[in-house]
Amino acid sequence: MKRAHILHALVACAVLVAGWLVYRTLSQYSWADISGSITEIPAMNFALALAFAACSYLCLTLFDFLALRYVEKPLAYPRAALASFTSLAIGHNVGIAALSSGAVRYRFYSRWGLTAEEIAKLIVFCGVTVGLGLITLAGLCLMLLPGTAGKVAGLGTAASVGLGAVCLVLGAAYLTLATFVRGELKVRSWRFALPTPRIAALQIGVGTLNFAFVAASLHQLLAGAAGYMETTAAYVVGNLTALVSHVPGGLGVLEATIGFLLGGSASIGALIAFRVVYFFIPLPLGLVSLLASEALLGPNGDSGLRNSPS
């Protein structure tokens, strides 16, 4: 009973923190800035940005779906999708994903029979998938558009192409290790059990596709002010900077980096609209999902969701 009260308190804290973060971010701009930034974007571009953002969150649900198979505790896709979307809609805004989205994932998966160790492995697997997607897309951007992707680090064309090749080699090396090496991959005190080659390949593919969709969402909001590959290169670098900074939701860091890379083409309106589309719109949906699950799911996670894997 005491444990249930603690978990309910954590849920309440998550709701309050998320609300405060939204207020803190939006308070930087006047209502005229926010409303004007959205109304200036063509309706079709805004609709496509929403669609690409939805495709990204769909890819993210596959992270959990694959991770459940990796830990050999397959659940039905609706359950994986519920846990993934709820945790990431909140975690993207709160920041420090291992603690924020990880805590929400623990709440869901512990009810569905996963141990703390299995949930920890699932979270690490999803983190690795994020990393694989970023380095693969970064590698492509550095090789195809070295000027923009290397600008923030002051890299020349040759250095950018070389770094891009290294990024792609890292992804290929991961797939090779998963194919030929069984057991755990050990780097000092860090250990990671390698997945099957099929799951490893899907990690790279889904991880890369996820970030490609996010960049496509931003590109639509820029309304043709920058090319897709240029926008993708800027987003990848901006996202890496935001992850390293550990600022909640990358507040300000993502916008500043993208603005630096794209210059005048990255209007403040488009960047505000991007945060609304990808961060703020999913947030209340995630909070409603979390609160509804607390009210509707039984102690063992019983609900209308299917229990068998699909």
Note the pLDDT tens digit of each residue in 292-301.
988 887 555 5
Q: 91 pLDDT band (50/70/90 cuts)?
A: confident
Q: 45 pLDDT band (50/70/90 cuts)?
A: very high
- Give the span between the Cα atoms of 162 and 13, in whole angstroms: 45
Q: Note the pLDDT of residue 70.
A: 96
Q: Note the pLDDT of residue 26.
A: 56
Q: 250 pLDDT band (50/70/90 cuts)?
A: very low
- Stretch 273-295: mean pLDDT: 88
Q: Is the pLDDT of residue 1 over 50?
A: no
Task: Among 41-50, 95-104, 227-236, name the most confident range.
Answer: 41-50
Q: Is the pLDDT of residue 118 over 70?
A: yes
pTM: 0.81
CA dihedral sign of residues 110, 71, 59, 214: positive
| Alpha carbon distances (Å) from 292 to 279, 287, 296 | 20, 8, 6
Q: ∠62-66-71 over CA atoms, to 5°? A: 145
List, as own/partner pairs, every contact residues 223-230 make where C-beta atoms lie below 8 angstroms and the sequence separation is at least 24, other chains included: 223/41, 223/42, 223/45, 223/270, 225/262, 225/265, 225/266, 225/267, 225/270, 226/262, 226/265, 226/266, 229/141, 229/144, 229/145, 230/145, 230/148, 230/262
- Please check whether residue 121 is in contact with residue 69, taking contact to mean a CB–CB distance below 8 angstroms: no
The larger pLDDT score, comparing residue 263 to residue 146, is at 146
Taking the alpha carbons at both ends of the chain, their separation in whole angstroms is 33
Q: Note the pLDDT of residue 142.
A: 84
